[in-house]
A and B are shown apart, each in its own frame.
Chain A
Amino acid sequence: MSYYRNLSIAQKQIAWAWGFLAIPVVFYALIRFYPTGNAIVLAFQDWNLLGDRTWAGLDNFDKLVADPVFWIVFKNTFVYLLLGTPVSLLIAFAIAFHLDRVRFMHGFIRALYFLPFLTSAVAMAWVWRWFYQPVPIGLFNNFLSTLGIPQISFLNSTTNALPAILAPAIWAGLGFQIIIFMAGLRSIPQTYYEAARIDGVSGWTVLTEITLPLLKPTMVFLVVFSSIGFLRIFDHVFNMTTNNPGGPLNSTKPMVLMIYDTAFNGYDMGYAAAQTVVLFTVLLIVSLLQLFLLRSR
């Protein structure tokens, strides 16, 4: 105690500041950094959850590079990202832009768009899974067959399955993106628009010269946020293909699902950790790249 009493006021302030900071620091170190570090170490080991961990060097990574399934999965993950992010942002912006002008039942319509975001992904994935079934139970195929159009294999197809799974995933995230876009639109000062109106500028120019540039911070946030979301896609894929996870023929399998399968069905924790390290690196690179490209000058 006497040690504390001898400190100067500035030193006491520092001590108190660190005292308070210690709580989040310890929390992060224990809950975030320790497991992350542990997973990275595990990537260089072999472990089946039951026995001892043994050092494996780079074996897990060698296996990963030589695994044809990994490269299919790697490609799929980027297809989810490259299709999912632009499509969802375009739709969300188009809806937000027009919804912003709607006065009639504005709150109600906005709530309708937000509703899917509140629904459990698992329940939603199962409902969509049934929608996609062939006759006699699939909603879409029953509709097609009453019109006399041949059935479409939505999920049992190597080409259609990925977009079929991506569609509800995009739909589910739309509500959130719309709300953020609308908040961004509302935060643009009206004076710019007034000035443009006085100058008699066309609607297209207003959009490209005022609205979009001023929405940039919002877009940076949404691009990074939804990219990470699509790179980590799991619940929709897993629940829509539980019997043949990531199938048919791995055509819908994203990286997270491969990690899950390796870890909790194959009990090959080291190999799963190696995949996790790769996913972590990809996420890091993609996020940094986007922050760099969309940075404000």
Chain B
Amino acid sequence: MTSLGRRVASVLAVVVATALIIYAGVHFLAVNDQVTAAASSETATVTVAVPAFTTETTAPRTTVPESDTPVTSAAVSQDVAWGSCRKGLVNDPYPGRCHDYSDTNGDDICDLSQPDPAASGAASTLAAIPSTGVTDAGTAGGLLTGGCPFGPCVACGACFS
């Protein structure tokens, strides 16, 4: 093998070995995180992907749960430092500008730039919103509640605030 060939082979070997070690290390940490999270959420019975926000308002968007089981949003907000973006960003989309991107609810918005759904008082009123719920006029067909954070009253249609 020529000198150049040897050098190329050495470089590639070192790069691949380093990448594998880093991958294994981070994967190990990720698995550990998941195990810890699973252990601490044993009491939570229902989880739901909840909060997302329109850009116009800071009111929480509520995704309607499949069942009529009351939902405690504590299950959603655990282990997430909601609203603690160190740059004070609000609704920071993927991949985020504050370098701490975390998206537990899968809405492609950094959790740290969103307020805690539990703290917003949603826990008490988040129960059993009918699946024929409100469609936000500002977004295409989604079950959003831009101006009506917790959806309308089933009986009278009035907006909870």
- The judgment on whether A and B are partners is no
Spell out A's residues near B (CB within 8 Å). none
